């Protein structure tokens, strides 16, 4: 049989030293071998140097007692390990970064929108802010804020109180009212859960109704109002029926609630000394109610100001003011207990000066009270009853039940050389957070602006044509579309903020790098500490970008 | 008799609507309440601001106008003009006149150019007008306060004693701290005798920059000298460095050695930034090319075989776990550990084997075994994931540990190495962006005309890719210029560190604001200028316009 098919030569075999595929593989193997050899050389040097300097190689040093203090953060003491210290630093880094990211998002969006505002002045201010701050190194901004502003605040005695609010700014930081949960809090939380479930059901029903009738229902307002109503009911119900708090007072004083203390407080004012300093009889007689007391103080302030502008000597009046201020009630109790916070905050809100004498334990506090050092002893009713039963004369004291709301406002107040109570932000944290937000917001604002400009004008015109107002246009039409453009660059800004928080080391905020630096100096384990730095920051970065990539996928335009 | 159809078509029933409580709340209750609240807040803040500024004290300005305490007629006029009550009244009056003009124009339906602008950009409705008033007062008084501190109430004397005496008359800024320390800010502790060398270096750079600006503008007669200019730029780097450092080993004479620990101030900032960006460029370029490499990778079999060989070698040279190991998390949980994990010898061995082989499998599966690509991705992502300060710490602390003990390295050198390693990763990503923007046809065309890979890269791809990323590269340089301030934390005397030492001088205590404002201004000028140049280059090159 004759074959008709053409004769095909087998392809010429390329020798392997000219085959580009094989050459590529060999080149890569050589490259990798060179890299590995380089690493091996570095590591052998390290091992030799470590042996010479007596450094250990593993991570066992993390179990050694640290022996240094950290100014703020989660529970830690100098007897804890290096590992714990680094963990405290990591938590501090995460804390400042998370808060920074939230605040940067808000300010970035606001400034970005402001720069595009119709109002020429608003655009001018936003533009000026962006152009000035983003062309200056973050470290200079941080130093200026920390050394030039925060540390230049007045001392504790002359704390700045903006608008007379219970917020105190001074060299030691910022004190502000905080919230403390009490025994009723879990019950109130149950009300919140209930309200959430109710609102969700309501939302579903209304959505169905909307679909059926084709008429739009304002689900948002209904949801918010019903949620607030249920939560408010829960607040009052819990507040009036659930309380374990009480205060112990001398029976002779006839006290049934906090208000009764006003008269006791007024008695404490040293009227003799005031009379000696030449305060008029008329003024002295006025001091029979809290409002009059405040009035007298204001009058004194006014007189002192008047004297100062006229060049007179206000020393006597200042002495009088001091005497007025020094009158106070003393509250005893356990340190940081709800009883003390509740009693002192409520007395302060009644206009009474309060001095807190807190002890580590209730027994000590009650001993203090028995000595007659305190006007009242605050604590739980059972604690107080137990303490009363061991007094010499239990009948001389009564335990008055006190109602507490699910959360107690913890109001700060100046006391001696310090500000007592309330939440507190350290100067370092305040400076770092403010600096990071101030700096990163400029970039965030530019991203938001670019995102909004990327939404075509027709969309806005269409929204206006449909009769949406400016807020609705921005919220429902422009921002959702701008989001797609905004998120990817915003992700890298969030990462930058997190990484820039490491500049905390320059102003001694105990973040990971700052604590790690101390660990490095104390233990000498430079390589391990820097490996920990890098792995931690890498993990945080990867977490943030993973989350935002997920979110980005959710909002991304679905393309065919 | 009514049928169901009739009921359905009953017009009365068609009008029936479910009670729209939500809509009623929004339109009639919340809408009104919200507007009233908003108006109250705006009017209230305006009133508060007006009251506060009305009572503001006049600005202290006597000294700068006349040293003898008599401020003269001009001084009195300025003093009167900066009076709080006067300024507030003026602003209010201007605002009311503006509002009046706009309302008059609207009523007459005649809005000429400026009035139309006023209406569109200042008096956009009731709330807009109130916001304008608020912002006007804010701007006027912020400017007034800034001028009072920095100019009218400032003291410009460089004599600390004079400043102390005149503190009451000039309570504002003390700019003498800047003037008295100008040399420190400029070059740090660089010796006086050798400062001329800095000037010469600066002159070289300025001459080259000017020539380049001419040579690269359109239709320039200097166009044919462009290659020479490039060579001159390349040569200028070592020449300026030699000028700044002097001839190594000479302690006297005009070219005496100036050790880098004496370099400081703005000079050091510029040296670090320029060295960082120039030297990291080739590394960044290689990383970018490596990351885009599509060369055939090492087959999975080779990888696994290599991994097994590596493991065997590692275990044979003493890495084999001989006893069970206990791990805990002392970081999170305190000592003693709450959840210790004990691994037996076998578990430990398996874990090690899985770790090594697993990573190699990932490389083989997802990156087709391309080892160069793997290395480049790993390097870039590692560096981009960590802060610059940790890289600087690493360079500062780890470099001496990882090199043989005979090698002693200069502090500046270490930091520059750190900056280069850091900036290379970011440059690589920029360059990669440029490479990605080149259409595939360009590669194919280069191949079709018979260019080799390196030729097509050098002649076709890179010129286009780099041109596209010039703005990004300038942005990168601005970022690096700002980031050089971090070297102050690892002990180099750059501009920021010099500022800190200046603040600590006993003659000028407590002048943080003046010093930081000054160096912020220096950084700002340069960054702003570079950004402006970048925009110009962008336009000249026509990037983004095809």
Instruction: Quote the pLDDT of residue B67.
Output: 46
The answer to the question of residue A173 being in a domain is no
- For residue B175, which phi and psi values (nearest 5 degrees)? -80, -5
Instruction: Quote the pLDDT of residue B327.
Output: 65
**Virtual CA dihedral for B429, B434, B438, B440, nearest 10 degrees?**
-10
Instruction: Quote the pLDDT of residue B383.
Output: 92
> Which structural domain range is residue A391 located in?
245-424
Determine whether the interchain pair A137/B390 forms a contact, defined as Cβ–Cβ distance below 8 Å.
no
Chain-centroid distance of CA A185 in Å reads 21
Nearest Cα of chain A lies from the Cα of B421 at a distance, in angstroms, of 14
Instruction: Quote the pLDDT of residue B528.
Output: 92
Please say whether the beta carbons of B450 and A105 come within 8 A: no
Which of A511, A519, A508, A507 is closest to A537 using CA atoms? A511
Q: Using CA atoms, how far apart are residues B126 and A8, in angstroms rounded to an integer?
A: 89
In whole numbers, what is the pLDDT of chain B averaged over residues?
Answer: 82
Confidence grade of residue B5 (pLDDT, cut at 50, 70, 90): low
Residue B59 has pLDDT above 70, yes or no: no
Nearest Cα of chain A lies from the Cα of B546 at a distance, in angstroms, of 20
Picking from B330, B370, B499, the nearest residue to A63 by CB comes out as: B330
Same domain for A251 and A370, yes or no, is: yes
The answer to the question of residue A16 being in a domain is no
Whether residue A366 has a cis bond before it, omega within 30° of 0:
no
Give the model confidence (pLDDT) of B358-387 as tens digits.
998 988 888 888 888 889 999 998 999 899
B531 touches chain A (CB under 8 A): yes
CA-based R_g, chain A, Å:
34
Please say whether the beta carbons of B398 and A524 come within 8 A: no
The answer to the question of residue A560 being in a domain is no
A227 touches chain B (CB under 8 A): no
Same domain for A438 and A413, yes or no, is: no
The ipTM value here is 0.85
Instruction: Quote the pLDDT of residue A429.
Output: 94
Give the model confidence (pLDDT) of B63-84 as tens digits.
444 444 455 566 667 767 777 7
Instruction: Quote the pLDDT of residue B485.
Output: 94
Same domain for A217 and A358, yes or no, is: no
Number of neighbouring beta carbons within 10 Å of residue B331: 19
Q: In this structure, is the dihedral angle defined by the CA atoms of residues A155, A159, A162 and A163, taken in order, positive or negative? A: negative
The answer to the question of residue A269 being in a domain is yes
Tens-digit pLDDT profile for chain A (560 aa)?
455 666 666 666 777 777 777 888 888 888 888 998 998 888 888 888 888 877 777 777 887 888 888 888 888 888 888 888 898 999 999 999 999 999 999 999 999 999 988 889 999 999 999 999 999 999 999 999 999 888 888 888 778 887 777 788 888 888 888 888 888 888 899 999 999 999 999 999 988 988 888 777 777 778 888 999 999 999 888 888 877 888 888 777 777 778 788 778 887 777 778 777 777 777 777 777 777 888 888 888 888 888 877 777 778 888 888 888 778 888 888 877 888 888 888 888 787 888 888 788 888 888 888 887 788 888 888 888 888 888 777 778 888 888 888 888 887 877 667 777 777 889 999 999 999 999 999 999 999 999 988 888 899 899 989 988 777 888 888 888 888 888 888 988 999 999 999 999 999 899 999 999 999 888 888 888 988 998 999 999 888 888 888 887 877 666 55
Same domain for A260 and A333, yes or no, is: yes
Give the model confidence (pLDDT) of B248-292 as tens digits.
877 777 788 888 888 989 999 999 999 998 999 999 999 999 988
Same domain for A382 and A500, yes or no, is: no
* B-chain residue closest to A536, CA distance: B386
Picking from B404, B482, B516, the nearest residue to A144 by CB comes out as: B516
The answer to the question of residue A15 being in a domain is no
Residue whose structure tokens are 């180099």: B492
Q: What angle do CA B218, B223, B227 make, to 5 degrees?
A: 130
B386 touches chain A (CB under 8 A): yes
CA distances to A408, B36, B280, B466, B469 from B474, in Å:
55, 50, 14, 12, 9
Instruction: Quote the pLDDT of residue B303.
Output: 86
Determine whether the interchain pair A119/B295 forms a contact, defined as Cβ–Cβ distance below 8 Å.
no
Size of interface A-B (CB pairs under 8 A): 211
Interface of A with B in 70-99 (CB under 8 A): 80-81, 83-84, 86-87, 90
Same domain for A139 and A204, yes or no, is: no
Same domain for A392 and A434, yes or no, is: no
Instruction: Quote the pLDDT of residue A174.
Output: 87
Instruction: Write the CATH number for A300.
Output: 3.40.190.10
The answer to the question of residue A199 being in a domain is yes
Same domain for A499 and A529, yes or no, is: yes
Give the model confidence (pLDDT) of B311-349 as tens digits.
888 888 776 777 776 666 544 545 555 566 777 888 888
Find all residues with CB under 8 Å of A142, minimum gap 6, and list them. A431, A432, A435, A503, A506, A507
| In B66-108, alpha helices (H) | 72-81, 84-108
Q: In this structure, is the dihedral angle defined by the CA atoms of residues A371, A372, A376 and A382, taken in order, positive or negative? A: positive
Find all residues with CB under 8 Å of B409, minimum gap 6, and list them. B399, B400, B403
The answer to the question of residue A61 being in a domain is no
Instruction: Quote the pLDDT of residue A292.
Output: 80
- Pick the last residue of a domain from A209, A224, A241: A241
Same domain for A396 and A251, yes or no, is: yes
Q: Using CA atoms, how far apart are residues B435 and B173, in angstroms rounded to an integer?
A: 51
Same domain for A268 and A415, yes or no, is: yes
Give the model confidence (pLDDT) of B408-432 as tens digits.
788 899 999 999 999 999 999 999 9
Confidence grade of residue B14 (pLDDT, cut at 50, 70, 90): low
- Pick the last residue of a domain from A380, A408, A424: A424
Please count the structural domains in chain A: 4
Number of residues in chain B: 546
3-state helix, strand, coil in chain B (%, to 5): 75, 0, 25
CA distances to A155, A259, A327, A424, B434 from A413, in Å:
15, 19, 14, 12, 60
Please say whether the beta carbons of B423 and B276 come within 8 A: yes
The answer to the question of residue A180 being in a domain is no
Confidence grade of residue B482 (pLDDT, cut at 50, 70, 90): very high
Residue B545 has pLDDT above 70, yes or no: no
B21 touches chain A (CB under 8 A): yes
Which of B242, B236, B251 is closest to B193 using CA atoms? B251
Same domain for A399 and A326, yes or no, is: yes
Instruction: Quote the pLDDT of residue B544.
Output: 44
Same domain for A208 and A256, yes or no, is: no
* End-to-end CA gap in chain A: 57
């Amino acid at each position: 049989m004759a074959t008709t098919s053409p004769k095909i030569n087998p392809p010429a075999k390329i020798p392997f030293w000219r085959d580009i595929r094989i050459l590529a593989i060999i080149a890569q193997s050589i490259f990798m071998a060179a890299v590995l050899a380089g690493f091996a050389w570095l590591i052998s040097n390290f091992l030799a140097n470590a042996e010479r300097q007596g450094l250990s190689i593993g991570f066992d040093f993390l179990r050694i007692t640290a022996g240094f203090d950290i100014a703020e953060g989660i529970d830690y003491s100098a007897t804890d390990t290096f590992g714990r210290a680094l963990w405290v630093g990591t938590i501090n880094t995460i804390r400042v970064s998370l808060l920074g990211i939230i605040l940067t998002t808000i300010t970035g969006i606001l400034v970005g929108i402001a720069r595009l505002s119709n109002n020429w002045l608003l655009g001018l201010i936003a533009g000026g802010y962006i152009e000035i701050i983003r062309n200056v190194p973050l470290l200079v901004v941080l130093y200026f804020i920390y050394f030039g502003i925060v540390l230049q605040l007045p001392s504790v005695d002359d704390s700045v109180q903006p608008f007379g609010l219970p917020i105190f700014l001074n060299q030691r930081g910022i004190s502000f009212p905080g919230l403390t949960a009490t025994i009723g809090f879990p019950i109130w939380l149950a009300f919140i859960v209930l309200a959430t479930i109710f609102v969700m059901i309501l939302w579903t029903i209304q959505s169905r109704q909307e679909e059926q009738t084709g008429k739009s229902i304002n689900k948002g307002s209904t949801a918010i109002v019903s949620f607030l109503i249920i939560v408010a009911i829960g607040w009052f119900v819990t507040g009036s029926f659930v309380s374990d708090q009480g205060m112990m007072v001398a029976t002779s004083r006839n006290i049934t609630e906090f208000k009764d203390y006003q008269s006791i407080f007024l008695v404490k004012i040293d009227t003799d000394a005031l009379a000696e300093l030449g305060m008029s009889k008329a003024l002295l007689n006025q001091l029979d109610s809290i409002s009059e007391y405040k009035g007298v103080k204001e009058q004194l302030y006014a007189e002192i100001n008047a004297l100062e502008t006229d060049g007179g000597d206000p020393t006597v009046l200042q002495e009088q003011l001091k005497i007025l201020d020094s009158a106070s009630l003393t509250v005893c109790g356990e340190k940081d207990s709800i009883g003390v916070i509740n009693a002192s905050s409520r007395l302060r809100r009644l206009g009474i000066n309060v001095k807190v004498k807190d002890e580590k334990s209730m027994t000590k506090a009650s001993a203090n009270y028995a000595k007659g050092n305190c006007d009242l002893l605050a604590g739980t009713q059972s604690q107080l009853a137990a303490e009363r039963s061991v007094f010499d004369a239990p009948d001389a004291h009564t335990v008055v039940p006190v109602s507490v709301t699910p959360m107690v406002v913890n109001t700060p107040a100046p006391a001696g050389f310090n500000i007592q109570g309330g939440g507190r932000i350290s100067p370092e944290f305040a400076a770092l957070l403010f600096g990071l937000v101030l700096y990163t917001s400029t970039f965030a604002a530019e991203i938001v602006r670019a995102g909004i400009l990327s939404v075509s004008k027709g969309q806005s015109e269409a929204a206006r044509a449909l009769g949406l107002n400016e807020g609705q246009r921005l919220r429902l039409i422009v921002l959702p579309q701008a989001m797609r453009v905004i998120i990817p660059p915003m992700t890298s800004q969030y990462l930058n903020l997190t990484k820039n928080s490491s500049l905390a080391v320059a102003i001694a905020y105990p973040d990971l790098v700052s604590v790690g630096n101390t660990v490095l100096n104390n233990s000498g384990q430079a390589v391990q500490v820097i490996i920990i730095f890098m792995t931690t920051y890498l993990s945080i970065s990867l977490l943030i970008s993973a989350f935002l990539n997920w979110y980005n996928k959710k909002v991304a335009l679905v393309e065919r | 008799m009514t049928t169901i159809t009739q009921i359905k078509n009953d017009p009365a029933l068609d009008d029936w609507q479910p009670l729209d409580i939500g809509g009623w709340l929004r339109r009639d209750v919340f809408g009104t309440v919200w507007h009233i609240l908003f108006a109250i807040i705006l009017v209230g803040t305006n009133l508060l601001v007006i009251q506060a500024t009305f009572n503001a004290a006049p600005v202290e300005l006597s000294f700068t106008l006349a040293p003898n305490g008599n401020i003269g007629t001009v001084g009195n006029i300025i003093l009167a003009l900066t009076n709080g009550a006067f300024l507030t009244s003026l602003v209010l009056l201007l605002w009311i006149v503006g509002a009046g003009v706009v309302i008059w124009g609207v009523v007459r339906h005649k809005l000429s150019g400026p009035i139309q602008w006023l209406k569109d950009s200042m008096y956009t409705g009731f709330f807009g007008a109130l916001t304008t008033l608020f912002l006007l007062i804010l701007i006027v008084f912020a400017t007034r306060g800034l001028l009072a501190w920095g100019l009218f109430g400032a003291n410009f004397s460089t004599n600390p004693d004079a400043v102390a005496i005149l503190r009451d008359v000039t309570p504002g800024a003390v700019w003498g701290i800047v003037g008295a320390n100008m040399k420190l800010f400029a070059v740090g502790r660089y010796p006086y005798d050798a400062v001329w060398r800095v000037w010469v270096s600066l002159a070289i750079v300025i001459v080259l920059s000017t020539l380049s600006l001419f040579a690269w503008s359109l239709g320039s007669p200097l166009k044919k000298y462009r290659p020479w200019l490039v060579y001159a730029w390349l040569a200028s780097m070592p020449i300026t460095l030699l000028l700044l450092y002097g001839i190594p080993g000479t302690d006297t004479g005009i070219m005496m050695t100036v050790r880098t620990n004496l370099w400081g101030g703005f000079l050091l900032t510029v040296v670090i930034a320029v060295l960082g960006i120039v030297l990291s460029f080739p590394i960044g370029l290689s990383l970018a090319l490596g990351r885009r490499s599509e060369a055939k990778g090492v087959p999975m079999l080779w990888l696994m075989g290599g991994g097994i060989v590596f493991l065997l070698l590692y275990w044979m040279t003493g890495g084999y776990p001989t006893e069970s190991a206990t791990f805990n998390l002392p970081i999170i949980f305190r000592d003693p550990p709450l959840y210790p994990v004990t691994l037996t010898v076998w578990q430990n061995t398996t874990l090690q084997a899985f770790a090594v082989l697993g990573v190699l499998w990932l490389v083989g599966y997802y990156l087709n075994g391309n080892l160069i690509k793997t290395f480049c991705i790993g390097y870039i992502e590692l560096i981009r994931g960590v802060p610059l300060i940790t890289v600087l710490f690493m360079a500062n602390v780890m470099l001496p540990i990882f090199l043989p003990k005979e090698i002693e390295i200069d502090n500046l050198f270490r930091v520059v190495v750190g900056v280069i390693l850091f900036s290379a990763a970011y440059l690589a990503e920029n360059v990669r962006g440029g490479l990605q923007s080149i259409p595939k046809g360009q590669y194919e065309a280069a191949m079709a005309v018979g260019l080799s890979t390196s030729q097509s890269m050098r002649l076709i791809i890179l010129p286009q890719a780099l041109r596209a990323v010039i703005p990004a590269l300038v942005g990168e340089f601005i970022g690096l210029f700002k980031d050089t301030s971090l070297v102050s934390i690892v002990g180099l005397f750059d501009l920021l560190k010099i500022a800190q030492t200046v603040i600590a001088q006993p003659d000028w205590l407590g002048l943080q604001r003046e010093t930081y404002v000054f160096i912020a201004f220096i950084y700002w000028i340069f960054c702003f200028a570079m950004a402006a140049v970048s925009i110009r280059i962008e336009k000249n090159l026509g990037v983004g316009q095809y």
